[in-house]
Structure 1
Amino acid sequence: MASIAVRSEQESSERLLAGDIRALRKARGLTLAEIGLRLGRSVGWVSQVERGLSIPSLGDLRAFADLFGVPVSLFFSHDVPIEKERGVVVRAGNRRRLGTSDSGLVEELLSPDLGGSFEMLRSVFAPGAELKTEARRPTEEAGYVASGTFDIEISGVWHRLAEGDSFRFDGKPFRWRNPGAEPAVVIWVVSPPVY
């Protein structure tokens, strides 16, 4: 009986991984053929990975992470101990962490997976952290400052936000910084998902 439960949990994690890879490919506007070419793999293999029929090796996961511009840690921590909560609930202790404190930004995926039309993140910006180079994504983004002070530049205009303030922009260039002495916590929503 225990081996059936372990196998079921493993299959569930494999389905979540497959869905995340498919969602990232679609969010980047890439075809199966383009992914296969960039990874040096066949289109059939990429398709099987996306359908959960082939399990990528750790090296393959690193290659996917590099290709999509995400940390390899995104592909792990799919463990949801209660079956009925898989794909629905994310418990505080089971969030997937992205980034490191060394980078000044640590994000936690609040969404159960990357398969929906948006993703929700809890972003913690260290004091003094900043995105120096302007970023621009083909996404609609919104955020809510849960604590701290947070500056965001949207299309060349800086906005200073405090706890309780929020923002939204669509496909515009942006930068951010934490000018305060305390971490800034921002709940960030991105559509379509980019992680």
Structure 2
Amino acid sequence: MISKKQTSKRQKTPAEHLGGELRSLRKAHGLSLKQLAEKSGKSLSFLSKIERGLARPSITALQDIAEVLGVPIGWFFETEGPVAANERPYVVRAGRRRRLTYSGVASTDYMGFQDHLLSANLDGELAMGISRYEPGGSTGDDLYAHQGEEAGLVLEGEIELTLGDEVFVLRPGDSFSFPSKIPHRYRNPGQVTAVVVWANTPISLRR
């Protein structure tokens, strides 16, 4: 239960909100301020001021930072009106889900799928999301692997889950879990959109 003390917290300013989102995402990627500065071409002091809510970056500067961190620029901004201070760390309303993109890929639309974050942030030991795969959509032709674990539940349609040499076709109500070090990929072999809710180990903990 959220205490009354928490509900009385001061609402963050837009600059503080942006700074907190940047800090959370940077840490989720396992980057130091110095590394982000080198990759984005921005000074370390400037990035530090942004994270502390003491600087307001231009759209161009924020776009450069967003590209390094693999998210659309809208990731950093409020949507659908302000969020109560006590709610922000814990709750994500249906209309406020943020889309995930990946380093070096501006959009996964061409691959036929979209990921949205269900977790309130990427600071914890678990990230939760929801994916929509259009017919024929997949995570790519190649299998990929990384540290950590992942699990999920198919809500709609069909998902073909490849784990090494094994291939499983999952339907609504079917679930899965596996160590992410096993080479894997997801694909929708059906004729309708597939929807999957998943949880995995955040990037920063994949060591």
AA aligned opposite 1:90: V
AA of the residue aligned to 1:176: Y
Identity of aligned residues (%): 39
* Cα distance per residue 1:102-151 (max 9 Å; x no partner): 54212222122223222211111111101223333333222111121101
Deviation at 1:21, TM superposition (A): 2.1
Shift of 1:178: 0.2
TM-score (ref. length: structure 1): 0.80
Does the C-alpha gap of structure 1 residues 97 and 124 become closer, same or farther in structure 2, counting only changes over 3 Å?
same
Match of 1:89 in 2: 91
Alignment CA distance shift 1:81-1:146 (3 Å): same
Equivalent in the alignment of 1:4: none
RMSD between aligned residues: 2.6
Higher mean C-alpha displacement, 71-80 vs 134-143: 71-80
State whether residues 149 and 163 of structure 1, in contact with CA within 8 Å, keep that contact through their aligned partners in structure 2. Answer: yes
Contact 2:15 2:55 survives alignment (8 Å): no
Q: Does 1:145 find its partner at 2:145?
A: no
For 1:69-88, list aligned pairs within 5 A: 69-79=70-80, 81-83=82-84, 84-88=86-90
Residue 113 of structure 1 aligns with which residue?
121
Q: Which of 138, 144, 147 is the matching residue for 1:135?
A: 144
Work out whether residues 30 and 203 of structure 2, in 8 Å CA contact, stay in contact via their aligned partners in 1.
no
Aligned residue for 2:4?
Answer: none
- Deviation at residue 78 of structure 1 after TM alignment: 4.6
Task: Give the TM-score normalised by the residue count of structure 2.
Answer: 0.76
**Over residues 28-73 of structure 1, what are the superposed CA-to-partner deviations in whole Å (9 max), with x where a residue is unaligned?**
2222111111122222222222233223322222222221223333
Range with greater deviation from structure 2 (67-76 or 126-135): 67-76
Counterpart Cα distance in 2 of 1:68 and 1:135: 20
Between the aligned partners of 1:76 and 1:187, the Cα distance in structure 2 is 24
More helix by share: 1
SS of 2:197's partner is strand
1:188 corresponds in structure 2 to 198
**1:16 and 1:153 mapped to 2: Cα distance?**
39
Query: Secondary structure, in 3 states, of the residue corresponding to 1:181?
Result: coil
Equivalences for 1:61-76 in 2 at 5 Å? Answer: 61-76=62-77
Unaligned 5+ runs, structure 2: 1-9, 101-106
Task: Choose 53-62 or 93-102, whichever is displaced more.
Answer: 93-102
Note if contact 2:80-2:95 (Cα within 8 Å) is conserved in structure 1: no
Q: Report deviation, 1:180.
A: 0.8
SS of match in other structure, 2:36: helix
Q: Deviation string for 1:66-102 (max 9, x for gaps)?
A: 2122333333345554514222222212222345755
Distance 1:60 1:101, change over 3 A: same
Cα distance change on mapping 1:169 and 1:20 into 2, 3 Å: farther
Partner of 1:29: 30
Comparing 111-120 and 183-192, the one that deviates more: 111-120
Q: Which runs of 5+ in 1 are unaligned?
A: 1-7
Find the aligned partners of 2:131 and 2:114 in 1 and give their Cα distance.
6
- The residue type paired with residue 49 of structure 1 is I
